[in-house]
Homo-oligomer: A and B are copies of this chain.
Amino acid sequence: MRQVAVVGVGMTRFGKFPETPVESFGRQAVWEALADAGLSAKDVEVAYLGNLTERRETGHMTCVAQQILRGVGITGIPITRVENACASGSTAFREAWMAVASGFYDIALAVGVEKLNGQGAAPLGRIGDTIEGIAGLAPPGVWAMRAQRHMREYGTTLEQLAMVAVKNRRNAKLNPRAALQSKEITIEDVRNSPLICAPLTLYDSCPTTDGGAAAILCSEEIARKLNVTPIFVAAAALTSGTYERHRDIAANELESRAAKAAFEQAGIGPADLDFAEVHDCFTIAEIVRVENLGLCPPGEGGRWVESGETQLGGRFPINPSGGLLSKGHPVGATGVAQVAELVWQLRGQAGARQIHGAKAALAHCSGGFIGDDTGASAVIILKR
């Protein structure tokens, strides 16, 4: 297995863009990533696209990856769409990494897109004919139960939940690509926003957004010839498993296992990281997941955010980009957008939200959420 570097990243602004076709998100992100790397479309040897919801009914379900990439002149190469629910983008990145790490290809593209607003867009909250879906269980319900359990078990408070939203909105204000960046919010704003599923409110939940992100990966040899600061892939782990630990709905063996695999692959531990992008689809999700990933002790996620350590300027910033909660969550794009944030931060190009001197960071996404269901979890570690 050889060393692989990320040499270019791109990302559209995330937001609600009902009139924009899904191809535009992908193409804009790829153009930016190619320009960032100083490479051209003809240099890309293999490509993977992460996408969840494109369907034939919208005219784009089949070969959506080829349709997007044709528009930027990327054709004639192996192109594959991958889907792992909310981990689709991370999966595309991991496949691209494997393609280069194995020596099969020298330059690979990972791109993620999702269109959740506008005509033909898929309703994400709908579960369909599973028993849980018929009973009304959707992601907010699952996460609300996790929140209730976490509060009961560990004394996590409603204010601590809200602090995650406040922190990530403050970070998003510094990120021109974030969906929600117009104003900061307060704990009271979060608690007073419309109730979705007790105790979770609208501001405890990530918005329904559209967007795209892209990353160019290449061999170390090629990276050294480009006029960029190579950011190396220290680990790209993907695993599957039952999403819940039945004795504790809040903890998650799947995510702990993905993190363990990534740390083993990277040969480092949480103490060697400077920050992380974590899959904060709801405020409680960030709290539970920093625990699952081993970034803080079990049960301490709520107190950790309250301590201020996970803010920008704190000891270990979580979701400096604004996270899913405020940057947005165009599903297939999210994992690749996390990679883009890591690369910008590790290069020192993150502007007003720069984490000074950051040398290594982690990105995490998980997909699949029904109680008796199965899920995918991906953890990527990049280092300067």
Contacts and interface: CB of A to CB of B under 8 A. Distances in A.
Nearest to A68: B374
Contact of A241 (B76, B104, B242): B76
A109 interface: no
Contacts of A57: 122, 126, 128
Interface stretch (A24-32, A91-99, A218-226): A91-99
A253 to B, nearest CB: 9
Interface string A348-374: 000000000000000000011000011
Consensus secondary structure, chain A interface: mixed
Interface in A33-88: 52-53, 55-67, 69-70, 75-86
Given A79-B240, A239-B77, A60 B128 contact: yes
B239 A129 contact: no
A158 interface: no
Nearest to A86: B62
A56 B98 contact: no
Please give the count of copies of this chain that the complex contains: 2
A248 B374 CA distance: 47
A240 B128 contact: no
Contacts of A62: 52, 83, 85-86, 367-368
Contacts of A52: 61-62
B120 A128 contact: yes
Contact of A66 (B69, B77, B375): B375
B1 A63 contact: no
A20 interface: no
A123 interface: yes
Given A104-B98, A239-B78, A55 B58 contact: no
A208 B76 CA distance: 30
Contact of A59 (B102, B123, B133): B133
A123 B367 CA distance: 26
A58 B126 CA distance: 10
B63 A375 contact: yes
Contact of A81 (B1, B77, B84): B84
A238 interface: yes
A116 B354 CA distance: 50
A59 B95 contact: no
Contacts of A120: 128-129
Given A57-B126, A61-B52, A133-B59, A82 B79 contact: no
Given A63-B374, A101-B102, 8 more contacts: A1-B103, A58-B129, A66-B373, A70-B374, A78-B238, A80-B376, A81-B84, A83-B83
22 contacts: A1-B104, A55-B55, A55-B122, A56-B126, A56-B127, A62-B367, A63-B84, A64-B83, A66-B375, A69-B240, A75-B374, A76-B241, A77-B240, A78-B239, A79-B84, A79-B240, A80-B82, A80-B84, A80-B95, A80-B238, A81-B82, A98-B104
